[in-house]
A and B are shown apart, each in its own frame.
Chain A
């Protein structure tokens, strides 16, 4: 079996008496979409933070590209090629769509300490940014102020910014939220292709999308992974149906 790109090994994190992550293990293999699902408050966001950086687990390790990154900062992990989209859009709202995408390109190029030439005249950065915008279908909106975008378009921009980094793995926190049926369908098609560039750890509430896309699914309940498996496995998993899908098995 091929080495996983990303693996979470026995990660635990407590906040006081609350166990947000309880001995969580999961991995992301090359070319796959691994969906992480679970009810609200299951600890998905806490887990994402521990994977992407910003929150250190109490115990356990996170490995990325064969390296223990548990002690590395968000910035260091990003530089290694961990691309992330946020659940609540983290975009520069006062800036244009193009500027946001160029910011990503700037980070990928690692040369932000340039003070004189206008960034928008940097052809290389601009091309990276415009290619990414084009891929998510936002190129027509490049000159628009980000705060004027619809909620769904902001989700698309989140993905575009992550694309500019040409990451080795994606972590996407609810990219479908607020997209509407057609937008969601489009993004589903897009992610379906994207997995061949880099695997995606997908946190998502939209079950249609999850079932359509995921190679594997992990179910998180009360900070614990109660099941990992293929779509079929999860659909038929008694405990999952009871705990999460809200059905009597």
Chain B
């Protein structure tokens, strides 16, 4: 077993044991913190497929996070106000069922990623960063100016959505839902990295010219990766909105895109558990330093600077060393 595998196992176990301890110690707020970590890590796992494996520096993943959030918000809003989403040409009603909401969030964000990706991936480098940022901002202002769904104020959902057989209002049960989804996403990401698709995508990041000369189109690889990436981040958005029972345009903001990217950079770009380590550290800092000063982002900035200058592999790179070549 490599050091990275051991570290990943410790991290996965830690993220599970911490809220269980909080449950026993009757600290529901701590459970909520752990749930935030799991959900934000999930958003990061999504971005990491585009960024780490595909080398696509998207500064617009808040678009998908927000679409997932609003998918939940809109469906639950209609369900709680007993108004249908639309009646013509056929009736669509709101829902409070989590699995349905997740599927809608996945589909809507995948579709958005297909459109945004198809246009953005014609560019590369700094243009790609800017165009993805622009799409994120477009959706941000769109959400602000959409009064039917709360506009600037966002949407409040009074009761958390339901999952068959579970009481989702119980923090530990909702945590376990998020944790299981995160675990599934991590398993999928691990598989993807080793799959034929992963090999080709990773090669297209390193040497696009080579990929072309073996008869594979890099654009299509990247678009596929972007759609998968956006869908996972969208699912995280739906869970995040459910955690807060609230969705607002800030989920679409470029700060959100930046934070998702920060998780990855802190944890380790292209490392499977990078987003988990990064999100955990981010939330821990927010909790500890945020209690000391409103301006805790200054310390986050310093940390980020240190990581970028001295520890490019992030937490995992520093603790587990250079990635070993696959067997």
Q: Is the CB of B195 within 8 A of A115?
A: yes
**B311 contacts A by Cβ under 8 Å:** no
In the bound complex, how far is the Cα of B325 from the Cα of A120, in angstroms? 13
Q: Is the CB of B327 within 8 A of A92?
A: no
In the bound complex, how far is the Cα of B216 from the Cα of A66, in angstroms? 23
The number of chain A residues touching the other chain, given as a range, is 35 or more
Q: Is the CB of B206 within 8 A of A111?
A: no
B218 nearest CB neighbor, chain A only: A75
Q: Is the CB of B211 within 8 A of A113?
A: no
Scoring A residues 86 to 100 as 1 if CB is less than 8 Å from chain B, else 0, what string do you get? 100011111110011
Q: Is the CB of B195 within 8 A of A165?
A: no
Q: Is the CB of B221 within 8 A of A112?
A: yes
Q: Is the CB of A116 within 8 A of B199?
A: no
List chain B residues, Cβ under 8 A from A107: 200, 211, 214-216
**A67 contacts B by Cβ under 8 Å:** no
**A123 contacts B by Cβ under 8 Å:** no
**B203 contacts A by Cβ under 8 Å:** yes
Given A86-B209, A90-B210, do A112 and B200 touch, yes or no (CB 8 Å)? yes
Q: Is the CB of B215 within 8 A of A75?
A: yes
Q: Is the CB of B325 within 8 A of A96?
A: yes
In the bound complex, how far is the Cα of B196 from the Cα of A74, in angstroms? 21
List chain A residues, Cβ under 8 A from B199: 95, 99, 102-103, 106, 112, 119
**B2 contacts A by Cβ under 8 Å:** no
Select which of B213, B323, B325 is within 8 A of A144 by beta carbon. Answer: B325
List chain B residues, Cβ under 8 A from A164: 214
**A16 contacts B by Cβ under 8 Å:** no
Q: Is the CB of A111 within 8 A of B196?
A: yes
**A172 contacts B by Cβ under 8 Å:** no
In the bound complex, how far is the Cα of B326 from the Cα of A120, in angstroms? 9
Given A52-B213, A108-B214, A165-B214, do A91 and B207 touch, yes or no (CB 8 Å)? yes
Q: Is the CB of A161 within 8 A of B203?
A: no
In this complex, how many residues of chain B approach chain A with their Cβ under 8 Å: the count is 28
**A122 contacts B by Cβ under 8 Å:** yes
Scoring A residues 62 to 87 as 1 if CB is less than 8 Å from chain B, else 0, what string do you get? 00000000000111001100011010
List chain B residues, Cβ under 8 A from A75: 212, 215-217
B209 nearest CB neighbor, chain A only: A90
B224 nearest CB neighbor, chain A only: A113
Select which of A53, A95, A145 is within 8 A of B206 by beta carbon. Answer: A95
Q: Is the CB of A78 within 8 A of B212?
A: yes
List chain A residues, Cβ under 8 A from B192: 115
B214 nearest CB neighbor, chain A only: A107
Select which of A54, A110, A122 is within 8 A of B215 by beta carbon. Answer: A110
Distance (whole angstroms) from the CB of B32 to the closest CB of chain A: 34
Scoring B residues 221 to 241 as 1 if CB is less than 8 Å from chain A, else 0, what string do you get? 100100000000000000000
Q: Is the CB of B325 within 8 A of A92?
A: no
In the bound complex, how far is the Cα of B49 from the Cα of A86, in angstroms? 29
**A245 contacts B by Cβ under 8 Å:** no
**B297 contacts A by Cβ under 8 Å:** no
Which residues of chain B in 84-133 are interfacial with respect to chain A, using CB atoms and an 8 Å cutoff? none
List chain B residues, Cβ under 8 A from A53: 212
In the bound complex, how far is the Cα of B198 from the Cα of A102, in angstroms? 12
User: Which 7 residue pairs are nearest across A and B when measured between Cβ atoms?
Assistant: A107-B214, A78-B215, A90-B210, A79-B215, A74-B212, A118-B194, A112-B200
* 25 contacts across the A-B interface (CB closer than 8 A): A54-B209, A54-B212, A74-B212, A90-B207, A90-B213, A92-B202, A93-B206, A94-B323, A95-B202, A95-B203, A95-B326, A103-B210, A107-B214, A107-B216, A114-B195, A115-B192, A115-B198, A117-B195, A119-B199, A120-B326, A125-B196, A143-B325, A161-B210, A164-B214, A165-B214
